[in-house]
Amino acid sequence: MFAVAGLLLGVAFQGGMFLFLIPFAGVAAALGYMNLPRVPGGKTASLPVVGSAVKATGISPAVTPELKNSFDDSASEYNEPGSTLRVNQVWARADADVKKAFSDMLEGLKRVVPNVHSLVLFSPLNSMKEWGMRAYACTNPDVRIASDVKITENTGLISQLFRMDVSRLLEGDLSGGKQLLYYIDNPMVKSVVAVPMLDRGKNRVGALVMDSLYPNAFNQQTAQALTYIASTLYTLYFKSFVSAKNYIEQQQFSVLYHYQHQFFKNMTVKDVFRQIFEYVKGNIPFDRMMILALDRQNDNNLHQERVGHVVCCDGIDADQFVNKKFTLSDKGLAILALYHNRPVERTFNQSAFNAYIPRIDNQEKKNMEFRQLFVMPVPTETNAEQAELAICLESRRNDRYSEHEMNLLKAFAGVAGFAYARACQAEQDKDLATRDGLTGLINHRTLHENLRTEKIRADRQRYNIGVLMMDIDHFKSVNDTYGHPIGDVVIKGIASAISGEIRKEIDVVARYGGEEFVVGLVDTTADGMIETAERIRHAVMKLEFDVHQQEPLRVTVSIGAFLVTPEFHDMKKAVNYADQALYKAKEGGRNQVIQYTELPMEPAPVDDGIPVLSSSMKA
């Protein structure tokens, strides 16, 4: 474009009628300049911002005096994405460049066309039927121009260009002079030529007006030339819009690429949730954002209804939704998107105050401020019937989420779904390596790792750890009498009973092997350890197992206990001491709790080589 500008200027220097080429040279130079959008710091973007695909997009610039209308800051959101601030700066810089180019174009026309008094360019304001002044040039610097003037239908001479049957205005002898709306001092204009500015769909998106204080100052050739210049001005306008828009989208997709890269650096589900939250909060405006996740299924509940919960919520009334549980049968818009694996977009009528549509269920807090909702499902498999995750965005504006934001979130959801499936598989593989497949409890190896970790923490904070070793009494006879399937049912039932009597998020429980279990009680006392052991023993005694006989099967457990004080450091030896106490409980009649107590170094009585043990009585 710079080469074309130089060529046109060279021809224009020949003089005469070729002087009309000067504005076109200016447009060519401006197009070349505008095709290099600048970041807020003033540096030129290193990536091309207008590709060959632009011609096929069919996009049109916004119908406002600015280059954009989709980033209106009149209503602030709960979050302020950093990307939004940068986007506004890009739009402002591009718009300033366009205004400068338009002003230079009009100034050049004013100098080469004889008897011109003023040139004015109009473009739409809030609608296609309301135009405002975009740029102007006047030969008399003392003339005052009403830059805030609005041209609507039936508001003067220029408004005739709203009519589809009017392709130009050419007035050469306005009797007594004409007052035009864009003047404050109202000079007596004698000649006017004006043409509409048309977009790519031939819609009227503005007007280019030239006036003179002399009669018959313009002719048909002037009007025709003005038509070409108006078309060129729109091309500059459109090119600048597309260039800025593409630059913004490239920056946003660059951020998306960064998160794609981060997804492949971690293998945990919590990290995936955190990165989804960080990306949405940093790049897409909202007044409330929720991340919903269906709980993962296992082989035992494949035929049960899917349930899930809100893993994250930020914004208005967030405390009402965090960890909120739901099922796929709940009647909410977010649940609908999950169930059908389809995006859901709703704009709520401001006057419909009694028509609240639940996001999750009918028990949630109803907030009538929200005007737009967009839910993007996050499937983990292509063409899946249901999505595993969903991102729900809500805004108090009814035009907050445009096609661009929706496409951006759709691209992000595709990557997030893959990362989530990958993290779930990694955690499942880890569970298979660290957990017992029958009971879901941690296994022998993982138990010792966890006990070592807890011991380090206990030494730092100076508290005790209670170790319980327990064994199912007469379990071999259960297997021999009722079979191994019933034996598995017994083991699972006892594992569940043990887990129900300890602090799930604090204490440690493991299937040690066969019919043996080990519990690590964090931050306890000797009395607390024995009390918990007795609760477990009683809970097991209450269990009843259906063996298809007249009486249900009941079992008991024997328990050995050892209290690890801060002065004791060998956790493997602690488990061994608890095992020795278990042996004594078995030997002493079963269904009881025996505590192993280390004796002082002085001579002490021994029984079969094992230190004397203190025991609790049978229940």
pLDDT in tens, 601-615: 444 455 444 444 544
Catalytic residue among 515, 551, 598, 602: 515
Whether 228 and 300 share a structural domain: no
Contact 193, 218 (CB under 8 A): yes
Whether 364 and 510 share a structural domain: no
Please report the pLDDT score of residue 516 as a whole number: 95
Whether 63 and 188 share a structural domain: yes
Closest C-alpha among 374, 366, 403 to residue 391: 374
Please report the pLDDT score of residue 45 as a whole number: 32
Whether 361 and 488 share a structural domain: no
Domain boundary (229, 244, 259) is at: 244
Told to judge if 602 belongs to the known catalytic residues of this protein, a careful annotator would answer no
Contact 83, 102 (CB under 8 A): no
Closest C-alpha among 252, 248, 251 to residue 240: 248
Residue 308's DSSP bridge partners are 294, 326
- What is the maximum alpha-carbon separation in the chain? 131
Q: Is residue 389 part of a domain?
A: yes
Whether 450 and 387 share a structural domain: no
Please report the pLDDT score of residue 27 as a whole number: 60
The dihedral region occupied by 58, where left means phi > 0, alpha psi between -120 and 50, and beta the remainder, is: left
Domain boundary (244, 272, 297) is at: 244
What are the distances in angstroms from CA 347 to CA 290, 314, 327?
18, 20, 25
Q: Is residue 345 part of a domain?
A: yes
CATH number for the domain including 525? 3.30.70.270
Whether 235 and 288 share a structural domain: no
Whether 604 and 485 share a structural domain: yes
Task: Mention every residue, 6+ apart, whose C-beta is less than 8 A from residue 481.
Answer: none
Q: Is residue 14 part of a domain?
A: no
Residue 585: what are its φ and ψ, rounded to 5°?
Answer: -65, -40
CA distance 463 to 522: 8
What are the distances in angstroms from CA 385 to CA 76, 251, 299, 340?
37, 33, 19, 6
| Amino acid making up residue 281 | K
Report the chain (619 residues): mean pLDDT per 10 consecutive residues: 54 52 61 47 33 34 47 54 66 85 90 91 86 91 89 88 91 75 88 91 91 91 91 87 78 68 72 88 90 78 79 93 93 94 89 76 91 93 89 90 84 87 83 84 91 93 95 94 93 94 92 94 95 96 91 94 94 95 94 82 47 43
pLDDT in tens, 204-218: 989 999 999 999 999
Please report the pLDDT score of residue 126 as a whole number: 76
* 8-state DSSP, 435: B
CA distance 504 to 162: 73
CA distance 446 to 253: 42
Burial call 564-574: b when 16+ CB within 10 Å, e when fewer: beeebeebeeb
CATH number for the domain including 335? 3.30.450.40
Instruction: State the CB neighbour count (10 A cutoff) for residue 205.
Output: 22
Would you give the distance in Å from CA 262 to the centre of its chain? 15
Q: Is residue 23 part of a domain?
A: no
Whether 66 and 191 share a structural domain: yes
Please report the pLDDT score of residue 427 as a whole number: 80
Look at the chain and report how many structural domains it folds into: 3
Domain boundary (368, 387, 402) is at: 402
Whether 397 and 459 share a structural domain: no
Whether 44 and 111 share a structural domain: yes
Q: Is residue 25 part of a domain?
A: no
CA distance 424 to 273: 12
Domain residue limits at 534: 444-615
State the burial class of residue 173 (Cβ atoms within 10 Å of its Cβ: 0-12, 13-18, 19+). Answer: exposed
Whether 122 and 59 share a structural domain: yes
CA distance 249 to 235: 21
